[in-house]
Amino acid sequence: MGFTSSSGVVISERKKMRASPIRIPTVSNDTDWDFCFHLIPRLYLRDVSSTVPVVTSQDRVSLPKEKLAQSQKKVAQLIKGKMIIKQKTHWNTQANKETIRCVILSRIIFGEEPWKCAQALATLAYGYLTLRGLPPQAKKHAESAKNTLMTWKGNTTSDKEKKEILETLVMLYYTVGVAWLLQNCGREAYFNLQKSERNMKELKKSYKGGACGLQVSEKDLTIALGRAPLANRRLNLALAYFEKAIDNVIAAKGDRTSDLVGLYEEIAQIKQLRRNHDQAVQYLQQARSICVSLFTEVSPQAAEVSALLAKADATSGEAQHRDAVEIYFIKSITAYQTTLGPEDYETLTTIEEFCKWLVQNGEKQCLIIQILIYGHEHCKSRDTKNLLTLMQRSSVNSKEKTSTQASQQ
């Protein structure tokens, strides 16, 4: 997909395809779509008992435009709200409904400007990906947006419109790429993310170096570009993208920003895959230091990194790291219990991982920990006790067998 510089923005593939009406794809069993679709006729209803003048054709256009502007503003507010409010599911659903409403209103208003409809569809696809976590639906709507642009025969001369179309393409290919990545298709993901990257570069040129306030940030795109080759074990390429992202974040926000935590964790994973234990631990310690300074040691963020540090030390298999494993697991469990509660999923999962490590290393403290947390009669305590008993019997039988074989020789 490309643009001509002389006649404005033109989609090159359109010559290969026949023009077709814009279709807004539906998703089976999607009640949100139906809900928003049936709201649209209300835009044109008026109270016949009132003294409001008859609605003119100009009013009929301006009213949907006002509604579209309101919906777009509401989407931005809801997305911002979900970042600071814990009830994310509610905010995500509401924001998704508003993006659907934007698609329908755009189709009503911009019937002769299909790229505007494609813009709304791309936003909807991005919403299905980031708000709802539904890659198949995201890909379906993104492909519809792409087809809409490819069948568009109009030209644009406005610099503002060119930038908006480039932003749409960045979002569209990013959405498709990440959707493929979530479905464990690294090759397809990287192919689409590279297209998003090319459009991002062109967009930055049009903004003369800086493009702030975009729905898809350069950092998000770079991280996705790193994760795609990582999924295919192309470690050098993945590392290059993550290091680039770290450099950009430090240049923009400094070296103590929370944005670095996830990036350090990604690089630590690559170092572990390369069996470079010491460097992996160093990156995780940097991440933990940032979490402790920004969120305190007793926080979910610090607990998560502490658990990763414990597992990184555990995978080394070296005796000198045993103390570090116990220390970081206990710190993680304590922080999770204090902040999220003893019955939270993260708390229980970390306890389970700690117990498995203790069992593998011949320790029995895991049973004591689970009895303290759950009690003697809890199924988890009984299962652990049975597992320890089974392992002890297996160990005794193995020793007896070895002794018998030695005596026979």
Per-residue pLDDT tens over the stretch 348-377 = 899 889 888 887 876 656 656 665 556 656
Number of domains in the chain: 1
pLDDT at 233 over 60: yes
Does the pLDDT of residue 156 top 80, yes or no? no
| Enclosing H/E stretch for 345 | helix 345-360
Lowest mean pLDDT among 82-96, 157-171, 334-348: 82-96
Task: With respect to residue 208, please indicate whether it lies within any of the assigned structural domains.
Answer: no
pLDDT higher than 80, residue 212: no
* Range 26-52 average pLDDT: 42
Nearest to 24 by CA among 153, 111, 93, 127: 111
Does any domain span residue 356? no
**Whats the size of the chain, residue-wise?**
409
> What is the reported pTM?
0.69
Query: Which pLDDT belongs to residue 379?
Result: 67
Residue at 8 is within a domain: yes
Residue 33, domain member (yes or no): yes
The answer to whether position 144 is within a domain reads yes
Q: What is the DSSP letter of 256?
A: T
pLDDT digits (tens, 9 = 90+) for 299-317: 999 999 999 999 999 988 7
Assess if residue 117 is contained within a domain: yes
- If you compute the radius of gyration of the chain from its CA atoms, what whole number of angstroms results? 28
Q: Is residue 18 part of a domain?
A: yes
Residue 287 in any domain: the answer is no
Give the separation between CA 367 and CA 381, rounded to whole angstroms.
6
SS3 39: coil
Task: State residue 409's pLDDT score.
Answer: 55
Host domain of residue 70: 1-41+61-155
| 57, pLDDT greater than 70 | no
**How many Å apart are CA 96 and CA 76, to the nearest integer?**
11
